[in-house]
Structure 1
Amino acid sequence: MKVTISDLAIARGGIPVLEGLSFEVPAGRALILRGPNGLGKTTLLRTLSGLQPPLVGQIDPGPEAMAYGAHADGLKATLTVAENLTFWAKVFGKADIAPALDAFRLRDLAARPAATLSAGQKRRLGLARMVVTGRPVWLLDEPTVSLDTQAVEWFAEAVRTHLGQGGCAMIATHIDLRIEADVLDLSPFRAKPAREADDFAEAFL
């Protein structure tokens, strides 16, 4: 499924952070989002996922096609690994959690309560939720935090599998995931401060 973004402007806390964004992510492709901290990468992903509205612009498809992997892992501490995945699978109308367990090497941990997992194991479980959504567009915000080198490769392989099935992904990350992907630097789309915009207009009065 192709994602098309047209003339998008977004805000954080009511203050514009990015504007004039237009790009496409074809089916089977990944897009790496780059830019300094605070630029608006997280805000962009939250907007694409439907958690907040854009100021202007078009997003196609809508949030019903998106699966968002945020900084938080979204786990129920008292549930086991398998129970957590089963919960999310049911939320998205799915039943089979086996591919998610296998992709992130969680079978040996399936009966463990999430509260007993290490930070890296919790992150793997949080990312495994993407697999059970069945949604074609993955939005991932710094997904490799707390992952060791081996787990990063497992994650990258899960993304490759998703792309090979016709999905697409947008990933905010500063590290090389060693996946074939396009790169979008968001820096040129930083919103102009209100005062700067006013000064520009006044110059022509």
Structure 2
Amino acid sequence: MLKVTDLAVARGGIAVLEGVTFEVAKGQAVILRGDNGSGKTTLLRTIAGLQEPLAGQVDCASDSIAYAAHLDGIKANLTVEENLKFWADVFQSDQMDKAVEAFDLGGLLQRPANTLSAGQKRRLGLSRLLVTGRDIWVLDEPTVSLDAFTVKAFAEIVKAHLAAGGCALIATHVDLGLEGDTLDVMQFRAKGDSTLSSFDEGFL
């Protein structure tokens, strides 16, 4: 479903990864690993189409990727229901009810998003994955701010997505109990890149 070939990605115009090549098949999850600042977020943003690669290519069906990153991507002044309806309209989706049930948002629908806890905001943000109806999930530390119970629930949502024929590319330090391959991005470190530090992770 997703094929990455000889991809080179950059931060601030400086290559951080090069020669990245892998595939994610239907029903498969691939977990990205790597040191802090190694370029996992930069790689995911490039695959999701949010920045141009330096070289190489990403092959997948048009409009097939749903991306979730560190920020929740919600509109704070709208209610939970209004956020969901906004996404449903954007993606011309009928999956809103499914998202509400999966992420246990039923009791929060009339709450303004800016009154939610960090964990509730995260659940709302992640619910967009189901609303989009897209097959390829590209996820960057998706369990940030989630408690242990909700992490397990989210893992089951990902498993159901895979079982339905979707696929997922996930950068995470949390064991979600998913059967799949692990890809260590350190093997693709760009030659001559000496700029990385542990401080960089929040910006990659």
Normalised TM-score (structure 1): 0.91
Q: What does residue 11 of structure 1 align with?
A: 10
Q: What does residue 120 of structure 1 align with?
A: 119
Q: What does residue 200 of structure 1 align with?
A: none
Identity of aligned residues (%): 61
The yes-or-no answer on 1:169 pairing with 2:168 is: yes
The yes-or-no answer on 1:151 pairing with 2:150 is: yes
SS at match of 1:52: coil
Distance 2:178 2:107 in 1: 27
Spell out the pairing of 1:1-205 with structure 2 (5 A cutoff): 2-61=1-60, 64-193=63-192
Distance 1:185 1:96 in 2: 34
1:48 and 1:63 in contact (8 A); partners too: no
SS at match of 2:21: strand
SS at match of 2:73: coil
Q: Deviations for 1:129-173, whole angstroms, at most 9, x for unmatched residues?
A: 111011110011011110001110111111111111111000000
Deviating 4+ runs (over 2 angstroms)? none
Say which is worse superposed, 185-194 or 121-130, in terms of deviation: 185-194
- Displacement of 1:95 in angstroms is 3.0
Distance 2:6 2:83 in 1: 38
Distance 1:165 1:112 in 2: 31
Counterpart AA for 2:188: F
Distance 2:110 2:180 in 1: 35
Counterpart AA for 2:105: L
Counterpart AA for 1:91: V
Aligned residues: CA RMSD: 1.3
SS at match of 1:19: strand
The structure with the larger Rg is 1
Normalised TM-score (structure 2): 0.92
Structure 2 unaligned blocks of 5 or more: 195-204
1:81 and 1:113 in contact (8 A); partners too: yes
Distance 1:17 1:62 in 2: 26
SS at match of 1:53: coil
1:88 and 1:133 in contact (8 A); partners too: yes
Counterpart AA for 1:157: E
Does the C-alpha gap of structure 1 residues 44 and 103 become closer, same or farther in structure 2, counting only changes over 3 Å? same
1:49 and 1:63 in contact (8 A); partners too: no
Distance 2:62 2:16 in 1: 21
Identify which of structures 1 and 2 has the higher relative contact order when contacts are C-alpha pairs closer than 8 Å and 6+ apart. Answer: 2
Paired residue total:
194
Distance 1:140 1:64 in 2: 16
Q: Deviations for 1:18-54, whole angstroms, at most 9, x for unmatched residues?
A: 0111111100011100001111100011001111111
Say which is worse superposed, 159-168 or 57-66, in terms of deviation: 57-66
